[in-house]
Structure 1
Amino acid sequence: MTPVEARLLRRIALTGPISVAEYMAACLTDPDGYYSGREPFGAAGDFVTAPEISQMFGELLGAFVLDRWHADGRPEAVDLVELGPGRGTLMADALRVAMRDPGFAAASRVVLVDASPRLRAIQEAALAPLHPRLLWRDGVPDERPIYLLANEFFDALPIRQFVRRGGKWFERTIGRDGDRLVFGLSPFPAPLKADAPEGAMREVRPAADAAAREIAAIIARHGKGAALIVDYGYDRPGDGDTLQAVRRHAYADILADPGEADLSAHVDFSALATAARIEGVSVHGPVGQGPFLLALGLLARAGQLGAGASAEVQARLHADVSRLAGEGPGEMGALFKVLAVTANPTIPPGFDVVGRHAG
């Protein structure tokens, strides 16, 4: 039994079943939870993210940031922000491009939103040689215009799940059966207004919607700035259970060994867009990650890296391009979506493909 499981069983015994959102939060952010001591990233961890597949991913996002900064008139004091920066791999790749512009280098601070002391130390070692001004915050800064990157951040925010029974919605809960955690339903109907067939499940993401609105509000207040959200999910609302646990690159039982597996759920990009638009900003997308990266020059960058390289390096670059932009099994190009929130209403690079490849 894990420490997180023991605490959850005691909590449920005292106060009753908990929501899926409370369970996710405990598993991921408890002092003994998933993010406190595990190394989830990379081949030796539990999953591989796009920045770890290839430097090209972060470099193209860095180019996107520079483009938006120029489109905003090159403001003189800005924050380059990343939510959930992990080991700093994405930010390092983005900075190699962004810092080539002396104006942006002088105007920017790097702000990393991460609560883990262990990861902050890793990030500092990776990024201190690349930028002289690094800061860590527990939330998004709002004193300057922001250019924000969020890759596989929103999928880990807690969700609530509701099940349709007898024409009403009931919240899915986690209770206990002896020393086991089990799924159940609240006995009290929820005030959810939505039509769906009997037995349907609907997921609600209040934390994600609130985060999107907060980011949009900061951009709107300054009248400059942009946010780029990259994650796996869907572009239209729908019913279904997308909660999943991943451990050692394989799906795991959601209720087994709490705190030892990564928990996440597909992102509802339409809900994020709706939340952001409330603040009066421009929202672009979502578009598929594949079309987005290709429009930003993924193939050209791969060609530069492969010029004069060995056949082995060229084969690896080809495999990386396919993994990032392809739409086949195990590839990220269609499953992952990209959404931009901007103060500037002009269509950013990569988003003129929205009508053809939204996914």
Structure 2
Amino acid sequence: MPVSQFMAAANAQYYATRDPLGATGDFVTAPEISQMFGELIGLWCADLWDRAGRPAAAWVELGPGRGTLAADALRAMAKAGFAPPVHFVETSPTLRAAQAARVPGATWHDSVDTLPDDVALIVVANEFFDALPVRQLIRRADGWRERLVACQDTLFLPIAGKPVPDAVIPEPLRDAPAGSVLEISPASVGVMAALGRRIAAQGGACLVIDYGYEGPALGETLQAVRGHGFANPFETPGDNDLSAHVDFTTLAAAAQPSGAVAWGPVTQRDLLGQLGIDGRTTALARATPDRAEALAADRARLMGEMGTLFRALAVTHRDWPTPAAFGA
């Protein structure tokens, strides 16, 4: 089967059967590191909504994890006068239960297709696109081929499959050296194109935060994480978190054909810095002096290596204002 099909099936099993977050799980995301992350994202949403004229709007999160980001963001938005209905795009029964405990009254969706179509949508996607399946194409001496996953007994291995048309490969990369790997994510393009159409038609904005790059680029980024360490992506499928770096250039291009406007990407460090993480850290430390050292450590974690690896892309309706942290 293609790598994309393998990744989709493995992640569907993985997320349906566990809560992967936290010290007892497999990985930790920014909202689980500090409340400041969700609060600042919420204020970003509330500020943009306010400057857009306070239209009727719904707040949407794609892949909300435990609901931690949503709870922190909604609390901050409410203080700014923005208390929208909440919609989650989530398929995992385990994670839906955790989200319901933190955000009572949310509405769940299996995909973006059933989101409200009569109000502006303000969408947040933190570490969502990296989990969507990628195709891997590998350059052989005789041309580009789809990478497949074969099973021998209980062992899964990547192999080269059938040739793919040159049109699938970005022109600057077609003559890459043998052994080069190109990753593309039609699933990510489909989701972002659908959001772009919705935002262009209904108003609103989308903020994507994830680790990735500005493509097109060669390189194999598919990885597996288990117990806060790296694992073999092709071993024990369904028991590891599989992810791949996000091509922000492709995401931005997918959002724009319908008339939506793309901004960025900027680094997570620049995003949080311009949204006021230093001031928020100081305020929380002043209110809870016993937590001052821990708060400083959380800020350093969000703004350090993670702050440069992770990037943020914004998409808005053409008549909405420039989103905070994305101006000149």
Q: Same fold (TM over 0.5)?
A: yes
Asked if residue 23 in structure 1 is aligned to residue 13 in structure 2, the reply is: no
Shift of residue 72, structure 1, vs aligned partner = 1.7
Shift of 1:346: 3.5
Matches within 5 A, 1:311-350: 312-326=290-304, 331-343=305-317, 344=319, 346-350=321-325
Structure 1 residue 352 corresponds to structure 2 residue 327:
yes
User: Partner residue of 1:127?
Assistant: 103
In the alignment, the residues of structure 2 paired with residue 37 and residue 177 of structure 1 have an alpha-carbon distance, to the nearest angstrom, of: 25
> How far off is 1:277 after superposition?
1.3
How high is the TM-score relative to the length of structure 2?
0.94
Identify the residue that residue 117 of structure 1 maps to in structure 2.
93
Partner of 1:188: 163
**Which amino acid is the alignment partner of residue 114 of structure 1?**
E
CA gap of 1:301–1:242, structure 2 versus 1, over 3 A, is same
Residue 64 (structure 1) aligns with: 44
Q: Whole-Å Cα distance in 1 between the matches of residues 87 and 183 of structure 2?
A: 31
Counterpart for residue 30 of structure 2? 50
Q: How far does the alpha carbon of each residue in 1:37-85 deviate from its partner, in whole angstroms, 9 at most, with x for none? A: 122101111000000000000000000110111122111x311000011
Q: Give yes or no for the alignment of 1:209 onto 2:189.
A: yes
Contact 2:212 2:248 in 1 (8 A): yes
Task: Please list every run of 5 or more consecutive structure 2 residues that lacks an aligned counterpart in the other structure.
Answer: none
Distance 1:229 1:308, change over 3 A: closer
Secondary structure class of the residue paired with 1:301: helix
Q: Contact 1:171–1:190 (CA<8 Å) still a contact in 2?
A: no
Count residues with an aligned counterpart.
319
- Tell me the SS of whatever aligns to 2:160: strand
Identity in percent: 45
**1:166 lines up with 2:141 in the alignment:** yes
Deviation at 1:190, TM superposition (A): 3.9
Considering only aligned residues, what root-mean-square deviation do their CA atoms show, in Å? 1.4
Partner of residue 120, structure 2 = 145
Output the CA distance in 2 between the equivalents of 1:271 and 1:282.
14
* Contact persistence 1:27–1:34 (CA under 8 A): yes
Q: How big is the shift at 1:295?
A: 0.2
Partner residue in 2 for 1:13:
none
Following superposition, which runs of at least 4 residues in structure 1 exceed 3 angstroms of deviation?
187-191
TM-score (norm: length of structure 1): 0.86
**CA drift at 1:176:** 2.0
1:241 positional shift: 0.2
Structure 2 Cα separation of the partners of residues 98 and 178 of structure 1: 53
